[in-house]
């Protein structure tokens, strides 16, 4: 039997395209992609994506081990499952991306850029996901996009909920997020070009981007730090309820402002050691560009993903405010 990750790291060659165990069948429609169909009836279709940023390796290792166990008939499967390793070429080169950050290309944003590996792969993954969910339209659809962050964080594990223009967030999902050990959840305030917004908006999925720790190269991950997500995924796909975690209450934030790198002169007034979710008070000059300085306008605001090194026109960070549970249960109309 093949090893999913070892083979995918080597090349795009798919040695075996389909197979069966005693309880499920699987097929590989593209490199780094595998779908599982349980023989028994189910009403859930789940997508787990990893490696949308090629250097975020811990989720890739965890999910690939799960794939190997399923193929070997060692795991119970009670849902339809699609597993995706996103940016294969960047993963092979240990990079976040080669030409364009792939998590800025979904919902057809790839059309705004010249053709490159990432634009083509984003289109391919959109089509694969739509096909997968489309084959089971009455099922409940779930998508978790697993990442690790560049910087250290005040909250080690957290989730980002895509903006919803109608309806409300799935409370079973929120419960699951808490039980795998997330400390915080960030609610997006607007549509985005991320994979999780695409699945939520176009495929009617309850979805979430998960940030599970700090990004490290293959071989440098302390996989002990990822036991919550590992167990959570096993329970999710085998239809087991996740035991409640003893961790404290989920901290809620909402995006107050997207910091966009407006020019090469744009500069965040933060050093590289500042952690995600660090608080700043009103008046602190957060960034400057060729024309202006930007002082924080809220009494207190929290910084997430600050990054001076993105390309002009791309997100250089998020500014957050605290939110309340009511904003998750019934988001504003
Ligand atoms: O650590 C960082 O600066 C980036 C970590 C990361 O890749 N985050 C995702 C979040 C996606 C979302 O907003 O749902 C990203 O930037 O794509
Ligand atoms: Zn990422």
Please work out whether the CB of residue 160 comes within 6 Å of at least one atom of ligand 1.
yes
Residues of each domain in the chain carrying CATH 3.40.630.10: 4-237
- Cα–Cα distance measured from residue 54 to residue 133, given in angstroms and rounded to the nearest whole number: 25
Question: Which of 53, 109, 144 has most ligand 1 atoms within 8 Å of CB, for mutation?
Answer: 53
Token readout for 85 is 């390793």
In the chain the first and final C-alpha atoms are separated, in Å, by 51
Is 155 annotated to bind a ligand? Reply is no
**CB of 287 within 8 A of CB of 318?**
no
CA distance 237 to 252: 27
The ligand 1 atom at the shortest distance from the C-alpha of residue 305 is 3
CA of 56 to the centre of ligand 2 (A): 6
**What angle in degrees, to the nearest 10, is found between the helix axes of 227-237 and 57-71?**
40
- Given ligand 1 and candidates 54, 152, 197, 209, which is best to mutate, with the most ligand atoms within 8 Å of its CB? 209
53 known ligand binder:
yes
Quick one: 318 exposed, middle or buried, by C-beta within 10 A (0-12, 13-18, 19+)? buried
pLDDT at residue 121, rounded to an integer: 98
Q: What are the phi and psi torsion angles at 116 (to 5°)?
A: -155, 180
Q: How close is the Cα of 20 to the center of ligand 1, in Å?
A: 36
Can you say whether the dihedral through the CA atoms of 14, 16, 17, 22 is positive or negative? negative
Ligand 1 site, residue 254, Cβ cutoff 6 A: no
CA 2 to ligand 1 centroid distance, Å: 31
DSSP string, 158-178: EEEEPP-SSS---HHHHHHHH
Per-residue pLDDT at 188: 96
Q: Is 56 annotated as a binding residue?
A: yes
Q: Six-digit token pair at 126?
A: 């959109």
Q: Which of 32, 85, 84 is closest to 55 using CA atoms?
A: 85
Q: Ligand 1: which residue has its CA nearest to atom 6? A: 149
pLDDT, position 330: 60
Ranges in the chain, pLDDT < 70: 245-247, 329-333
Q: How far apart are CA 317 and CA 308, in angstroms?
A: 9
What's this model's pTM, rounded to 2 decimal places?
Answer: 0.96
Q: Which atom of ligand 1 is nearest to the CA of 197?
A: 14
**Tokens describing residue 178:** 């808490």
Angle at which helix 117-134 crosses helix 195-203, to 10 degrees, equals 30
Specify the CATH architecture of the domain 4-237.
Answer: 3-Layer(aba) Sandwich (3.40)
C-beta separation of 203 from 135 below 8 A:
no
Residues of the chain with CATH 2.40.50.630: 257-329
**Residues annotated as part of the active site:** 211
The alpha carbon of 24 and the centre of ligand 1 are apart by a number of angstroms equal to: 34
Q: Is 201 in the pocket of ligand 1 (CB under 6 A)?
A: no
Asked if residues 44 and 37 have their Cβ atoms less than 8 Å apart, the reply is: no
What is the token pair recorded at 189?
């305030």
SS3 269: coil
Q: Is 103 in the pocket of ligand 1 (CB under 6 A)?
A: yes
Q: Which atom of ligand 1 is nearest to the CA of 101?
A: 17
Distance, CA 298 to ligand 2 centroid (Å)?
A: 27
In the prediction, which pLDDT does 241 show? Answer: 83
The Cα–Cα gap between 205 and 144 comes to 10
Q: Has domain 257-329 been given CATH number 2.40.50.630?
A: yes
The percent of the chain in helix, strand and coil, each rounded to the nearest 5, is 25, 30, 45
| 309-323 pLDDT, tens digit each | 999 999 999 999 999
Q: What percent of the chain has pLDDT over 90?
A: 90
């Amino acid at each position: 039997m093949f090893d999913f990750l070892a083979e995918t790291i080597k090349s795009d060659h798919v040695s075996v395209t389909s197979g069966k165990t005693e309880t499920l069948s699987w097929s590989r429609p593209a490199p780094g992609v595998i779908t599982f169909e349980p023989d028994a009836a189910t009403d859930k279709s789940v997508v787990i994506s990893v490696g949308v940023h090629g250097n975020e390796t811990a989720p890739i290792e965890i999910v690939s081990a799960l794939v190997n166990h399923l193929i070997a008939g060692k795991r119970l499967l009670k849902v339809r499952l699609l597993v995706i390793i996103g940016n294969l070429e960047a993963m092979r080169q240990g990079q976040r991306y080669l030409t364009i950050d792939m998590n800025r290309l979904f919902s057809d944003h790839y059309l705004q850029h010249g053709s490159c590996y990432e634009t083509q792969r984003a289109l391919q993954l959109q089509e694969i996901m739509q096909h997968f969910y489309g084959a089971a339209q009455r099922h409940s659809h779930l998508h978790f996009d697993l990442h690790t962050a560049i910087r250290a964080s005040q909250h080690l594990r957290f989730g980002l909920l895509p903006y919803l223009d109608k309806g409300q967030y799935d409370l079973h999902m929120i419960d699951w997020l808490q039980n795998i050990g997330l400390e915080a959840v960030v609610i997006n305030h607007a549509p985005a070009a991320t994979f999780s917004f695409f699945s939520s908006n176009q495929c009617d999925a309850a979805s979430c981007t998960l940030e599970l720790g700090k990004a490290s190269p293959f071989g440098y991950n302390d996989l002990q730090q990822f036991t919550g997500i590992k167990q959570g995924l096993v329970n999710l796909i085998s239809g087991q309820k996740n035991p409640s975690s003893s961790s404290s209450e989920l901290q809620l934030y909402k995006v107050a402002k997207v910091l966009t790198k407006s020019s090469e002169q744009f500069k965040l007034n933060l050093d590289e050691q500042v952690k995600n979710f660090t608080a700043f008070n009103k008046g602190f000059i957060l960034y400057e560009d060729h024309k202006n300085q930007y002082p924080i306008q809220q009494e207190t605001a929290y910084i997430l993903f600050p990054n001076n090194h993105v390309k002009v026109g791309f997100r250089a960070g998020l500014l957050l405010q605290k939110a309340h549970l009511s904003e998750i249960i019934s988001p504003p109309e």
